[in-house]
Amino acid sequence: MNTDLLNSEILKAGISLNVNYYEETESTNLSAKNILAEDPSTDNTLILTSHQTNGKGRFDRKWYSEPGANLTFTLIKKLTLSVDEIQLVNFYTSYILCLTLREIFTENKNMNFMLKWPNDLLLNGKKLSGILLEIKNPETPVKTFIIGCGVNVNQTVFDRSLPNNTTSLKSESGIISDPEKILISFIKNFFGKSSMLNDGDQLICKWKSCSDITGKKIIFRKFDDDIPVTAVVEDVSPDGALCLRNENGILKKYYSGEITLSV
Ligand code: BTN
């Protein structure tokens, strides 16, 4: 990827962001951790690669991405948030990604972008993007967030080990998109709307307006190898917790885990 346009657009928009581009790297989240190990004061830094050789997903899963076809990047961002507010960064990032892609594909009515708790972006009901959020120093007031994002842009054949509900912008639209241009729009929105992080209730409200899970019957797992439970989504509370009513009518709040839609 040629990052000239990205650098000039960032400069034009007055965003202070260092861009580190690698042809190939193991995982941009790992590169971010290495950068922070050398200089813990690193902030406002983007790590971008065309080829991740060992991309990481949530629950220790792998994130496969065809070299040169997609977006795989990590942002290092310092934010003053309390421990209870850490999850807001997941909601903020996925909301901004959803908003960005809705803006780009606004004319294409067949592109239905929706959010799935806690931070997946679905396109026409299939997984388009995932976020892996890691925190360097959760105990200090100013926390260092390592925000890893993978977006399937032009890949159309997916690894057989993946569930067949994975998709890309190209698979759904038939159009080849420029990953760099998508990233530029995302960065502008991410830095331009960051005051949203100061009002968690409002942010969750906005996030919920892009999600349709409330009232749906789902299967929930707290961990990858956990026993799945069937429940109905009652709400996503203002602190980002998933409120589930189980088959015995008991209401419980969960702050992490994964849901799949029940058929
Ligand atoms: C998920 O499991 O849904 C999260 C996937 C996150 C993948 C991205 S790609 C860029 C960054 N580097 C990684 O190793 N993982 C994240």
For every residue of 117-159, DSSP letters joined together read TTTEEEETTEEEEEEEEEES-TTSSEEEEEEEEEE--S--S--
Over range 113-135, report the average pLDDT: 96
Peptide bond just before 118 cis, omega within 30 deg: yes
Over range 75-80, report the average pLDDT: 98
The proportion of the chain whose per-residue pLDDT surpasses 90, expressed as a percent, equals 89
Half-sphere exposure of 195 (CA within 13 A, CB side): 1
Report CA(25)–ligand 1 centroid distance (Å).
Answer: 13
Over range 166-171, report the average pLDDT: 97
Is the C-beta atom of 29 inside 6 A of ligand 1? yes
What's the pLDDT band for 263 if we cut at 50, 70, 90?
A: low
What's the pLDDT band for 185 if we cut at 50, 70, 90?
A: very high
In the block, residue with structure tokens 């509370």 = 237
Report CA(127)–ligand 1 centroid distance (Å).
Answer: 13
pLDDT tens readout for residues 228-254: 899 999 999 999 999 999 989 999 999
What's the pLDDT band for 225 if we cut at 50, 70, 90?
A: confident
All domains in the chain, ordered by first residue = 3-209 (3.30.930.10), 217-262 (2.30.30.100)
What confidence score (pLDDT) does residue 262 get?
Answer: 65
Q: What is the mean pLDDT of the chain?
A: 94
Is 90 exceeded by the pLDDT of residue 25?
yes
Q: How far is CA 229 from the centre of its chain?
A: 25
Report CA(74)–ligand 1 centroid distance (Å).
Answer: 9
Handedness of CA 20, 24, 30, 31 (dihedral sign): negative
32-to-9, 59, 79 alpha-carbon distances in Å = 22, 19, 16
Task: Say which residues have a Cβ less than 8 Å from residue 122's Cβ, sequence separation at least 6.
Answer: 113, 114, 115, 116, 128
Is the C-beta atom of 118 inside 6 A of ligand 1? no
List the residue whose alpha carbon is closest to atom 16 of ligand 1.
148
Give the ligand 1 atom nearest the CA of 55. Answer: 14
* Ramachandran quadrant class, 106 (left: phi over 0; alpha: psi -120 to 50; beta: rest): alpha
What confidence score (pLDDT) does residue 78 get?
Answer: 98
Is the C-beta atom of 127 inside 6 A of ligand 1? no
Enter the pTM of the model: 0.95
What confidence score (pLDDT) does residue 2 get?
Answer: 81
- Contact predicate 65/168, CB 8 Å: no
